[in-house]
């Protein structure tokens, strides 16, 4: 008769195709000494978010361990940063939908249970079980018979440049770069979800424009971004939005997921398009061809009654300065628009302003920039580009917040 293991490892994962969408979890229990799989499960749970599915996988794994290795010490290993940090007590559980799941998992886990975050590649078996569940090939919880790791926003925020070799550091020094010496202020830049103007490809400006609300599609995009960003936990100081309706609506969805208020920063409003607001590019080309040609050919020429790119840059950088002053060394989610976000990215990279014409930025996409204290840099800070135009799950991508 095989001796009961002293320690077991629970590996668990969950996923959702749509976030929310068809969801499932995978969980297994190993003998820590031999690596033998003692029990496993792959179960579909209907429509749910990634985070709910991950918690469901954890709960199933704990139950498997208690059923098949009673009395054994348990180590949980998951690639969900959110679940691991919340179970360790490092992050608060702010989302009301996760609070009962966290409570159930906490009740099941013995007092000496440990929780370890692992890269996704090291959680391949649980991930495969979760995908089997979502594919409809379930494995009932019970004893058994006999993916490339994705870079994440949390990893980028926590350990920028951690993989730089000594040689790379030396080469960087020759280019005038020096290692950061202070905590960065990190901006998680979110473009608003779509409106009827976005979908119709109409000029849609700042406070002086029509400012339609988010469409149903735009609200769904905002929710997908919010679910993704919920994994940032307590490291976010606040959510900042431009005063324009579509950004405030997007920001409110994100802020609700993070349990934070929304602050308004006028500097991050969209370019004012004046007489062109509400018109398509083709309509402007027909009605004001000379004005359009002048606007496209210069950073200093505004649309009639609107702002030039230079004017927008000045306004956006003023907003950036205020955010850096108010939230030094912290992470801030900034919900804004195409032109301000691309302006911030160009500034971060030290690129000329006309670089904005060579960037694409999708609705409800996420970009990340950081600013380090640097007395030798203009304005006393040095920018670092971390992530650009990434789409959350449910909006065209496959990364989820538990893997950050």
Cα 53 to Cα 25, 47, 74, 114, 303: the distances in Å are 6, 9, 21, 20, 49
State the catalytic residue, choosing from 192, 327, 337, 347: 192
Domain boundary among 132, 149, 166: 149
Residue 110: CATH number of its domain: 3.30.420.10
Do 322 and 392 reside in the same domain of the chain?
A: yes
Question: Do 135 and 169 have their domain in common?
Answer: no
Residues 74 and 124 both lie in one domain:
yes
Q: What is the mean pLDDT of the chain?
A: 84
Together in a domain, 190 and 334: yes
Please check whether residue 85 is in contact with residue 51, taking contact to mean a CB–CB distance below 8 angstroms.
no
**What confidence tens digit (pLDDT) does each residue in 154-188 have?**
444 444 443 333 444 444 444 444 445 568 899 99
Domain boundary (116, 149, 182) is at 149
Q: How far is CA 380 from the centre of its chain?
A: 28
Q: 190 vs 109, 152, 320, CA distance in Å?
A: 36, 16, 15
Residue 171 lies in a domain: yes
* One domain for residues 398 and 266: yes
Active site residue 270: yes
* Rounded Cα gap, residues 248 and 241, in angstroms: 6
Alpha-carbon span 268 to 336, nearest angstrom:
6
Among residues 270, 272, 307, 313, which one is catalytic? 270
Asked if residue 93 is part of any domain, the answer here is: yes
Range of the domain at 203: 155-403
Answer yes or no: is 238 within a domain.
yes
Report the Cα–Cα distance between both ends of the chain, in Å, rounded. 42
Sorted by sequence, the CB contacts under 8 Å of residue 305 that are 6+ apart come out as: 208, 272, 274, 275
91 & 236 share domain: no
Show Cβ contacts of residue 296 under 8 Å, excluding neighbours closer than 6 positions. Answer: none
Separation between Cα atoms, residue 230 and residue 88, nearest integer Å? 17
Whether residue 281 sits in one domain with residue 199: yes
Specify whether 266 is located in the same domain as 352: yes
Residues 66 and 171 in one domain: no
In a shared domain, residues 24 and 75 = yes
pLDDT in tens, the chain (404 residues): 457 799 999 999 999 888 778 889 999 999 999 999 999 999 888 888 889 999 999 999 999 999 899 999 999 999 999 999 999 999 988 888 888 899 989 999 999 999 999 998 899 999 999 999 988 876 656 555 432 223 344 444 444 443 333 444 444 444 444 445 568 899 999 999 999 988 888 999 887 666 789 999 999 999 989 988 887 777 898 999 999 999 999 999 999 988 999 999 999 999 999 999 999 999 999 999 999 999 987 899 999 999 999 999 999 999 999 999 999 989 999 999 999 999 999 999 889 999 998 888 999 999 999 998 887 777 788 898 888 888 876 554 433 333 33
Q: What is the DSSP letter of 214?
A: B
d(Cα 13, Cα 24) in Å, to the nearest integer? Answer: 9
Q: pLDDT tens digits for 115-159?
A: 999 998 899 999 999 999 988 876 656 555 432 223 344 444 444
**Tell me, what CATH number does 288's domain have?**
3.40.50.1240
For 9, the 3-state DSSP assignment is strand
With respect to residue 213, please indicate whether it lies within any of the assigned structural domains.
yes
189 and 293 part of one domain = yes
- Residue 101 CB partners (closer than 8 Å, separation 6+): 52, 55, 56, 59
List beta partners, residue 9. Answer: 30, 75
Give the chain's domain count. Answer: 2
Shared-domain flag, residues 37 and 115: yes
């Amino acid at each position: 008769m095989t001796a009961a293991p002293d320690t077991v490892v629970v590996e668990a994962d969950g996923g959702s195709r749509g976030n929310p969408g068809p969801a499932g979890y995978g969980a297994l229990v190993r003998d820590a000494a031999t690596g033998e799989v003692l029990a496993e499960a792959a179960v579909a749970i209907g429509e749910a978010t990634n985070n709910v599915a991950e918690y469901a996988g954890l709960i199933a794994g704990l139950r498997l361990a208690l059923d098949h290795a009673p009395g054994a010490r348990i180590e949980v290993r998951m690639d969900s940063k959110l679940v691991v940090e919340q179970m360790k007590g490092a992050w608060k559980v702010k989302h009301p939908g996760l609070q009962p799941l966290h409570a159930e998992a906490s009740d099941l886990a013995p007092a000496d249970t440990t929780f370890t975050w692992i890269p996704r590649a090291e959680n391949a078996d649980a991930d495969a079980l979760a995908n089997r569940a979502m594919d409809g090939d379930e494995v009932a919880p019970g004893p058994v018979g006999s993916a490339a790791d994705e870079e994440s926003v949390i990893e980028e925020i926590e350990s920028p440049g951690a993989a730089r070799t000594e040689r790379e550091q030396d080469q960087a020094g020759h280019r005038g770069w020096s290692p950061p010496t202070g905590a960065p202020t990190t901006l998680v830049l979110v473009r608003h979800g779509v409106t009827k103007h976005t979908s119709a490809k109409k000029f849609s400006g700042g406070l002086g424009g029509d400012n339609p609300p988010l469409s149903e599609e735009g609200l769904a995009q905002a929710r997908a971004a919010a679910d993704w960003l919920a994994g940032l936990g307590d490291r976010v100081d606040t959510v900042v939005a431009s005063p324009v309706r579509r950004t405030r609506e997007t920001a409110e969805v994100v802020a609700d997921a993070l349990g934070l208020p929304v602050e308004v920063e006028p500097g991050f409003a969209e370019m004012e398009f004046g007489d062109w607001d509400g018109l398509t590019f083709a309509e402007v080309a027909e009605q004001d061809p000379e004005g359009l040609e002048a606007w496209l050919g210069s950073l200093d020429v505004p649309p009639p009654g609107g702002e030039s790119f230079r004017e927008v840059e000045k306004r956006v950088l003023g907003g950036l300065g205020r955010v850096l002053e108010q939230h030094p060394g912290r992470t801030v989610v900034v919900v804004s628009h195409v032109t301000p976000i691309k302006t911030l990215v160009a500034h971060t990279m030290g690129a000329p302003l006309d670089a904005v014409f060579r960037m694409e930025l999708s609705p409800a996409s996420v970009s990340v920039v950081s600013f380090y204290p640097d007395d030798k840099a203009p304005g006393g800070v040095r920018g670092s580009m971390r992530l650009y135009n990434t789409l959350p799950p449910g909006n065209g991508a496959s990364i989820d917040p538990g893997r950050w």
